[in-house]
Structure 1
Amino acid sequence: MVSDSVASVDGVDVHYQTAGEGHPVVLLHGGIIDAAHVSWPPVRERLAADYRVVAPDLLGYGESELAPGPYSIPRHADVVASLLDGLDCGPVTLVGTSLGGAVAIQVALERPALVETLVPLDPYGLGERLPNGTLSYLLAEVQVCNRVAIAAFRRSRRLTRASLAGIVHDLDALPADAVDAVHSEVQRPTAGAAFRRFREAEVTSDGYRTTFLDRFEALSVPTVLGHGAHDELFPLPWAERAADRIPDADLRVFEDCGHWAPREDPDAVAALVSDAAAGR
């Protein structure tokens, strides 16, 4: 059974879902159009039999408040850390995908006592290079393009589905309920706003602002990285480089995945998280 709750965190309302009992596993979703109920349901269902699963909506996403201010990785991490403090979870297995993966890494660096095991999945923060170079920077600067795209997605499930081709390896294999979840979430009036603020904070003419390349050696918690073999946003060699630099890190490659492993192969993701949590 999934429970929905709201906590006041640093003066901001943060929505989160919980399921199961046992050692706490925290799941942080990605960016663009995402939320706890978009990326994580199939993984949460598999984990809830053995763990207490907590899946928050990050600041401005899903049912969490779209608060003013920068939507940088450090700010997201501060909110997540404060939420964990408030829930008194104790050290957790902290899992994050894409944007959430960078937030998880930042929490582990700044508040290691909160994290027993770190599991970043295709995380942002592995490198500086923008996937489309100058075009990515210009799109971040001219936010109207994102607004137009979201308006189109609201009107068409077909266009919503087509847009996911950029983050999955095999669009035909993507479950219909994953497309439905994104198409439902894009109907929210604030959909896309948090991602636009993230791009304002994190995308520069020189590349991504947040990169952990010079900080990986400082990670002091056991770390297991998971990465799609066909991720076109953050290529697999970036994850291999990170695994070489993080002390005693393991890397597991999802052979049939692009950038959205929790929806492309939830069995593999749940197994990785369970193994990481069991080895805590």
Structure 2
Amino acid sequence: MGFQDGKIVLDSPNNAYYSGQTIHGRLIFEQDKQKTFRGIYARMRGYCNVHWTSDHTRKVDDRSESYTVEHSSHEKYIDHKVFLAGGKSGEHHLNPGKHEFPFSINVPYTCPSSFEGSYGHVRYELKVVVDRAFKIDKEISAPIKIIAPLDLNKEQYAKDPIALELNDVYCCWCVMSGTSETLVKLPVTGYCPGQVMPVEVNCVNKSNVDIEKIKITVKKEITFRAVCNPGTNTERDTVLEVKKGPVPANSTRSWALQLDVPAMDIYNLDSCSHIDVNYELKLYVFLKMN
């Protein structure tokens, strides 16, 4: 029985909040004897950390030497402390029994979404600390997830159509075999998880070579930027993939596709200087190899 057996109860059932929202919580604990402390406070921190290492070699006295370089960045979004009892100085006492302290913390509108990546993260931490003079502080914590809303209706680029064209020239033993033209069209650029992407595909094969398949993918690319020992690192993943074909030599094929955008977390990292998340539409044409 004591402070560290207590709990933080938040008004969000899954501990998730939007940027600009207010976190309301309660610290609840019970103790069997009187305690002396300087202050009890709730502290919320939000930050971005980027880190990776790279291996290199250099010449030292006519021999090669290996060494490792650390690349990193740090950025702070919130570091707010509110006292629930006591303060920064003085001596205060709590009698035995059950205690409950309410608190509230405002999340700034500028906070980016919580994010976890291979080379960096955006994290938010909520802790309640008992500050004890000349003793080790005691603390309990609760995980916090921040969601920064992203309204595609307010993003002008999201309303722009997409037209992706690939023109190929084919040669066999230095002899011209013909050309192909593949066009992929979407009515708008921005889509949400669960939404349907209407995709038009048209392939005109003017060559003597069969096209085995056409592949369309949506790839997620996450870029991490380091300020200390500057550099970038990238994490890639395929979100969506579809294959159509074949397109025989000297023929034309067209498809009207309805592609479901899969359920996934969407991260608004506009106010994060060191991590970018982008989505890219890619088109591939594969020839039939004899």
Name the TM tier (shorter chain). under 0.3
Q: Which has the larger radius of gyration?
A: 2
User: Which structure: greater strand fraction?
Assistant: 2
- Structure having greater relative contact order (Cα 8 Å, sep ≥ 6): 1
TM (norm. structure 2) is 0.20
